Chains A and B, each alone.
Chain A
């Protein structure tokens, strides 16, 4: 009799274990699940947010930009009749201010999720040049590519962590709408028909990024108090970063200086 009781007890315990182990498999969501669909971690208190501003400059002599020969595409060459088109690789403003630099928060945001802006980010193809040369947008945000030229372009982003695509766009064709699913700084874009055309797309999972214009200034607003790594990326000079701590409602200023390579590069 006793043995039988023992048996029942053992079986029950075993059964219970089985159920527990099965159950745990089913119920526990993976801790490291991607944040894309997860709800916002802790809402940002807009009353305490601060900002980081500053400027980007280049140190050293920068060679004057090379001219682009568009003879292969007369309709585009005509669009630049006044001023010959030049390479956009390094665009320097007054006081060595550096344009086309993406400045963004690299670390410190944590797992927070943000709403994706409804408005698309646009790239125009005008006179066989991309305008703007560098764009930044959030993952999942629409990118709108327009063709203002009288020629067919192809838009061919070559990402490392995103899906590659390559679409042609005839003159007058509707804008191409695309998205990138994953953050990546930065995705080179080229047009295989017009090899001089080049653009970069920086993709983020938060809204703390900006692209400098010719004045080299940047301002990252609405940052909740915390310690951040701010990074600046330039297509030719690479990246440079600084760490900064922001208190409630604090505004801080930092500057980035890229070193130009010795002449002749």
Chain B
């Protein structure tokens, strides 16, 4: 093969260039990896370094400042005086202490010298006694051993003991002597320890005062504390700072899921309580950092101190409350979880209470979370719950449906069993032998019992249904009654101009076309009931009606007036234009008893019953809470309007007056176009389809649609819904680019393509997600109407929704208390449902609606309903339960308050279910930390002398009790401002009563009851006024005496106090004849 002369690539081509580039690239990569290792992926390193340096600087600056402050305090005359006192006390006790110490030393030396010999002697005696006792009783062996015992006891020991004067004494003692000396020394030693403590006490107590004084005067940390922190800052390890809490019951299979890993403090170093103690508040200003600098070192603000006490960061970490991705530390964006597929991003400032909801989702009211609470209240009150299921919120409709299905199923089973029983009996009669017969008979008997059990079960479910029928409430009015209540032409107007007619209404504005409005109005009109006809009423006195409206407490829930003149609560409707739409006779019935229905609803026949149904069974057409059985099948009927509005127990005359006044509330120029189309039967079916489509039955009771489900999405975990499942429709790109739905404005926080952005825009205007879409069928459009909400409302609602997430934390983090806090948790649902806080102060710091009205300012405060902050401690729970069921405390005389009949504002009858009453009673007990169940304490009976004394005090001019408190005498009670003492025994708790009469202002600031009636002398309360002569020499507690007297007061006794004839006082507390 000839040699070729082509170039050898190995020789002729050089790779040096490529290699150089590669080497360079490799070097770059290595450099890059180093950069990432130390800076790029570890942004927290530089944060920590910077924090350590600025924090150390801050502390160095602080130490002299705080040191100076400390000096000032220590040099202050008060401090010096106290310190001198300590020194003086120490000096006083010094000789005594020295004496004690000398004595102690002497005893210790003597004991030490005695110890060995005594132990030996005791050992010998004990051994001899043991030897004797193991011999049989009375035996010779025992006798001889007992002799040994005597010998052991008689043996003498020589020893040398130190004496008090420092010499040594030599003694020869037997066991008895040794034992006596040893025990005496031990006892003396113990006594000396106690004496020493006693001698030190005055100085110690004074020292405590000094410390307390210093603590009180010293603001911020001491020099010593600061130096400790400085040391920690200077020697801070730059490292990942991690909070790691594993769930208690983690198994190998769920390792890595659940649990809590939070590394937030790697950057947010200032949030570490070990570095920045809770008492110190650190801001950028403190650290001399620019406001815009990226420096996440601020500590929790002072206002969070309470919250942090309950939520220890070592257990809770950061992300459970604040959101974000607690594990991510490679970038700010990742750590804050603000990227597309992280479902729990960091909460924005205005929504930060969303974090509370994560664990407190079963609470209606969460302390420290006003925005969240408002969101929840709005969700319920504005009727969101009508369309959107939310776990824990009003689920009575679902429970009613379930109860009904259960009854149906049980009744089916009963029918089958009833067919089976005679078959089994016959089989028994014809059985070939007795054993088979007995078996068949037993089966028949068992089935009979089963049937009876089914009856019992059905009865129970019926009772539950009865409760549910009381509990179920609709946000909007009953549309079955529209024809009797409302002016016909007003309905289509309202449907189109909902928020114009009533700017504060809960009803959202539906997006209906003109034809749709007509159809819906026609359906409502034609499906409503037409009778039995209402009672007709003569016109009432409008002026008196106005007075009643303003004094009975209507404004706790309703508002009146428009625009700037609007006053009253937002819990119920604004009544400014009622006169334009309501029927007078209907309004009279409603005011007289809002729960009254035209016809009862039978859930089994799915229709409203009429007089004809009752007549078939020979019954009168009477249905109310006491007559709630269906005449056809015996099951429970809905006999009430599903409204939260309670019965104010006004007379029919008063109801007429109020209605007459309300009907004057209208715009003078209001005009409504006639609406004949509403009688067009062709529109009815069309309207029904629309009403179903828009879910009207979620908030209204509508004939034929009583069992309609909620049409909206369930929102229980909406906050962590993946972003792709939220339909931004054609706005997706705009949202990502940060352009608001108007297509022009820039979003203040740039991209709003996240849950928060979706909710905010949807609540502001749900129609935007239909924008630009062509939908041939109008029913294809998004159904959500425009809610009547302010921007603040939207923030509250969005906070609530953002916090409603699929729980990431182990279940034990969820707030599910098992103790009294559970009663509080459950109670809030009822308390907020009926707006108790419209009239009452329930918890500290809260104001009722009525309190804010001009009518109840200044002197008029005494006309307010009672403050209920200590209600649980005040009243007997059994009494409270009875009172809540019947606030008039009478079945005949109901046009008044049962306890405070002098108050014009009326405690109405809510017709609570038994369950609701229990929840309220337990709620109040738990709010005051009262033990359950309540057992009234036994009070010491009054002696005759004591009764005479108490009587003398009650009637003395010095004690004004009977001036204000009711006595049952109508003439007197007209001006009374406090309850009748006769109620005390059943109603009050003695311990509370004693606290109340000694200092009522502490319990209810602003109460008419004066403080200072008693003063403290030693261990007892003494009446402050001139005492009747019989009190001389009485050693008992005066407040206790009066409480016992009150709790043992009888009507006769009360009559004798007021000196009235017995005829005038008949009745006493229960039916005290308060004149109206």
- In the complex, the chain A residue whose C-beta lies closest to that of B429 is A181
For residue B877, CB closer than 8 A to chain A, the reply is: no
For residue B46, CB closer than 8 A to chain A, the reply is: no
A160 near B429: Cβ-Cβ < 8 Å: no
B432 near A163: Cβ-Cβ < 8 Å: no
CB contact between A32 and one of B428, B432, B437, B441 (< 8 Å): that residue: B432
A161 near B438: Cβ-Cβ < 8 Å: yes
Given known pairs A161-B438, A163-B441, A182-B437, the reply for A33 and B432 (CB within 8 Å) is yes
**A162, B425: Cα distance in complex, Å:** 9
Residues of A within 8 A of B431 (CB): 34, 182
**A138, B63: Cα distance in complex, Å:** 113
- In the complex, the chain A residue whose C-beta lies closest to that of B426 is A181
B425 near A36: Cβ-Cβ < 8 Å: no
For residue B119, CB closer than 8 A to chain A, the reply is: no
A181 near B428: Cβ-Cβ < 8 Å: yes
- Closest beta carbon of chain A to B431's beta carbon, Å: 7
A34 near B434: Cβ-Cβ < 8 Å: no
**A163, B438: Cα distance in complex, Å:** 8
For residue B430, CB closer than 8 A to chain A, the reply is: yes
A161 near B437: Cβ-Cβ < 8 Å: yes
| Chain A contacts with B in 157-196, Cβ cutoff 8 A | 160-164, 181-182
Residues of B within 8 A of A164 (CB): 441, 445
- Closest beta carbon of chain B to A185's beta carbon, Å: 12
| Chain B contacts with A in 411-446, Cβ cutoff 8 A | 425, 428-432, 434, 437-438, 441, 444-445
**A164, B444: Cα distance in complex, Å:** 11
**A161, B434: Cα distance in complex, Å:** 6
**A181, B434: Cα distance in complex, Å:** 11
Chain A contact residue count (CB 8 A cutoff): 12
B432 near A182: Cβ-Cβ < 8 Å: no
**A34, B441: Cα distance in complex, Å:** 16
Residues of A within 8 A of B444 (CB): 163
- Closest beta carbon of chain A to B578's beta carbon, Å: 62
**A247, B428: Cα distance in complex, Å:** 37
- Closest beta carbon of chain B to A167's beta carbon, Å: 15
Residues of B within 8 A of A161 (CB): 434, 437-438
Residues of B within 8 A of A163 (CB): 425, 428-429, 441, 444
- In the complex, the chain B residue whose C-beta lies closest to that of A32 is B432
- Closest beta carbon of chain A to B696's beta carbon, Å: 56
**A163, B437: Cα distance in complex, Å:** 9
Secondary structure class of chain A's binding surface, majority of residues:
loop
Residues of B within 8 A of A32 (CB): 432
- Closest beta carbon of chain A to B182's beta carbon, Å: 76
**A36, B429: Cα distance in complex, Å:** 9
- Closest beta carbon of chain A to B439's beta carbon, Å: 11
B438 near A160: Cβ-Cβ < 8 Å: yes
CB contact between B432 and one of A34, A37, A160, A162 (< 8 Å): that residue: A34
B687-722 interface bits toward A, Cβ cutoff 8 Å, 1 = contact, 0 = none: 000000000000000000000000000000000000
**A34, B430: Cα distance in complex, Å:** 6
- In the complex, the chain A residue whose C-beta lies closest to that of B431 is A34
- Closest beta carbon of chain A to B856's beta carbon, Å: 65
- In the complex, the chain B residue whose C-beta lies closest to that of A183 is B434
- Closest beta carbon of chain B to A99's beta carbon, Å: 28
B434 near A36: Cβ-Cβ < 8 Å: no
**A30, B444: Cα distance in complex, Å:** 24
**A34, B434: Cα distance in complex, Å:** 12
**A205, B680: Cα distance in complex, Å:** 77
A1-37 interface bits toward B, Cβ cutoff 8 Å, 1 = contact, 0 = none: 0000000000000000000000000000000111011
**A164, B425: Cα distance in complex, Å:** 11
Residues of B within 8 A of A37 (CB): 430
A36 near B430: Cβ-Cβ < 8 Å: yes
**A73, B611: Cα distance in complex, Å:** 49
- In the complex, the chain A residue whose C-beta lies closest to that of B430 is A34
**A34, B444: Cα distance in complex, Å:** 20
**A163, B424: Cα distance in complex, Å:** 11
**A160, B433: Cα distance in complex, Å:** 12
- Closest beta carbon of chain B to A183's beta carbon, Å: 9
- In the complex, the chain A residue whose C-beta lies closest to that of B435 is A161
Residues of A within 8 A of B441 (CB): 162-164
**A160, B425: Cα distance in complex, Å:** 14
B442-461 interface bits toward A, Cβ cutoff 8 Å, 1 = contact, 0 = none: 00110000000000000000
- Closest beta carbon of chain A to B134's beta carbon, Å: 58
**A32, B430: Cα distance in complex, Å:** 12
**A87, B671: Cα distance in complex, Å:** 95
Residues of A within 8 A of B430 (CB): 34, 36-37, 181
Residues of A within 8 A of B438 (CB): 160-161
Kindly name the residue among A34, A37, A164 whose own CB sees the greatest number of chain B CB atoms within 10 A. A34
**A37, B438: Cα distance in complex, Å:** 20
**A233, B455: Cα distance in complex, Å:** 43
**A34, B429: Cα distance in complex, Å:** 10
**A33, B444: Cα distance in complex, Å:** 21
| Chain A contacts with B in 198-230, Cβ cutoff 8 A | none
**A161, B437: Cα distance in complex, Å:** 7
Residues of A within 8 A of B437 (CB): 161-162, 182
**A160, B434: Cα distance in complex, Å:** 9
**A32, B438: Cα distance in complex, Å:** 18
**A37, B431: Cα distance in complex, Å:** 12
Residues of B within 8 A of A34 (CB): 430-432
A182 near B434: Cβ-Cβ < 8 Å: yes
- In the complex, the chain B residue whose C-beta lies closest to that of A36 is B430
- In the complex, the chain A residue whose C-beta lies closest to that of B434 is A161
- Closest beta carbon of chain A to B600's beta carbon, Å: 37
- Closest beta carbon of chain B to A65's beta carbon, Å: 33
**A125, B428: Cα distance in complex, Å:** 29
- Closest beta carbon of chain A to B143's beta carbon, Å: 60
**A34, B427: Cα distance in complex, Å:** 11
Residues of A within 8 A of B428 (CB): 163, 181-182
**A32, B433: Cα distance in complex, Å:** 10
What are 26 A-to-B residue pairs whose CB atoms are below 8 Å?
Answer: A32-B432, A33-B432, A34-B431, A34-B432, A36-B429, A36-B430, A37-B430, A160-B434, A160-B438, A161-B434, A161-B438, A162-B437, A162-B441, A163-B425, A163-B428, A163-B429, A164-B441, A164-B445, A181-B428, A181-B429, A181-B430, A182-B428, A182-B429, A182-B431, A182-B434, A182-B437
Minimum-distance CB pairs A-B, first 6: A181-B429, A161-B434, A34-B430, A32-B432, A34-B432, A163-B441
- 14 additional A-B pairs beyond A34-B431, A161-B438, beta carbons within 8 Å, are A32-B432, A33-B432, A34-B430, A36-B429, A36-B430, A161-B434, A162-B437, A163-B429, A164-B445, A181-B430, A182-B428, A182-B429, A182-B431, A182-B434
